[in-house]
């Protein structure tokens, strides 16, 4: 039989082992995170985001890609953050590099020499963008790698960001309609059906605005017609028109229309407003 002292020693060892396993099981997983997670700026402005590391142990090197929409954003600077650079014991410091591609920024950093990695939380990279046009886009982190001082890959989570501008244009309430709900081809001189809509520039800057009408006949897509592009000042409501036709007796039937607002700061890249308005009309021979 085991003596009381021997049994106590075994129990103490089991408690220690359980404590270690419990601590490992509930140790925080490092997170690469875009900060702030959501940011807004208007065309012509600039903003800066950070790629942060959280709850890491012995971080020696890393690499990552940050995606962005080049129609909306242009990177103007990519700078190494202080997390490893300012805390490493290596007298040679770190080697940091980056590549700007058409739709992502690649960043990488390694500690020079055989020295311990850095633990804790802080800023790895700071990136500044110029806002080129109106719209919104995700800022995802992907192809990410974290290595400790032994060269071992570290499991981790990622959390990307989101960019948007406050300026936008949208269809207003009860804002899309046909000139004739029952369009009689034989009674119209040019056999053209006019489609109308009202759109508002929410502000705070001038925007190019247009509206498209997607036209269906029953379950079949027919065509998309568009209004002219106009400049709308903030908090202004405008009525826009597009024409569908000319129509002939063979075009008789029920038509369904979806109206969508589009807006742009430059007049080149267009973003869709959130609201979609639907209506219908019948073409009669």
Q: Token pair of 57, please?
A: 């142990």
Cis bond upstream, residue 183 (ω within 30):
no
How far apart CA 241 and CA 173 sit, in angstroms, is 17
Host H or E run for residue 76: strand 73-80
pTM for the predicted model, two decimal places: 0.80
* Integer CA distances (angstroms), 25 to 22, 29, 150, in order: 5, 10, 22
pLDDT at position 8: 55
- List Cβ<8 Å contacts ≥24 apart for 226-230: 227/197, 229/267
pLDDT at position 26: 63
In this prediction, the residues of the chain whose per-residue pLDDT falls under 50 are 1-2, 4, 7, 9-24
User: Contact at 8 Å (CB) between 98 and 27?
Assistant: no
pLDDT tens digit sequence for 226-246: 999 999 999 999 999 999 999
pLDDT at position 187: 81
Q: Is 93 left (phi over 0), alpha (psi -120 to 50) or beta?
A: left
User: Contact at 8 Å (CB) between 97 and 112?
Assistant: no
pLDDT at position 116: 96
pLDDT at position 14: 44
- The domains found in the chain, sorted by start residue, are 28-164 (2.60.40.680), 168-284 (2.60.40.10)
């Amino acid at each position: 039989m085991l003596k009381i002292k021997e049994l106590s020693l075994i129990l103490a060892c089991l408690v220690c082992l359980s404590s270690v396993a419990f601590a490992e099981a509930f140790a925080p997983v490092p997170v690469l995170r875009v900060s702030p997670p959501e940011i807004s700026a208007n065309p012509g402005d600039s903003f800066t985001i950070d790629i942060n590391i959280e709850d890491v142990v012995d971080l020696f090197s890393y690499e990552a890609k940050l995606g962005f929409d080049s129609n909306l954003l242009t990177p103007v600077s990519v700078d190494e953050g202080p997390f490893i650079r300012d805390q490493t014991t290596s007298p040679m410091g770190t080697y940091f590099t980056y590549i700007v591609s058409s739709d992502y920024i690649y960043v990488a950093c390694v500690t020079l020499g055989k020295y311990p990695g850095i633990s804790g939380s802080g800023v790895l990279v700071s990136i500044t963008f110029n806002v080129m046009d109106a719209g919104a886009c995700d800022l995802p982190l992907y192809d990410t790698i974290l290595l400790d001082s032994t060269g071992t890959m570290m499991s981790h989570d990622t959390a990307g960001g989101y960019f948007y501008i406050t300026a936008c244009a949208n269809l207003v309430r009860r804002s899309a309609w046909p000139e004739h709900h029952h369009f009689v081809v034989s009674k119209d001189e040019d056999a053209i059906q006019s489609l109308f809509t009202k759109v508002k520039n929410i502000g705070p800057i001038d925007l190019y605005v247009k509206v498209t009408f997607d036209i269906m006949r029953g379950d079949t897509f027919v065509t998309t017609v568009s209004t002219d592009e106009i400049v709308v000042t903030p908090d202004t409501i405008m009525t826009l028109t597009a024409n569908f036709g000319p129509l002939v007796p063979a075009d008789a039937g029920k038509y369904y229309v979806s109206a969508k607002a589009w807006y742009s700061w430059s007049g080149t890249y267009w973003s869709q407003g959130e609201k979609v308005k639907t209506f219908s009309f019948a073409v009669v021979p």
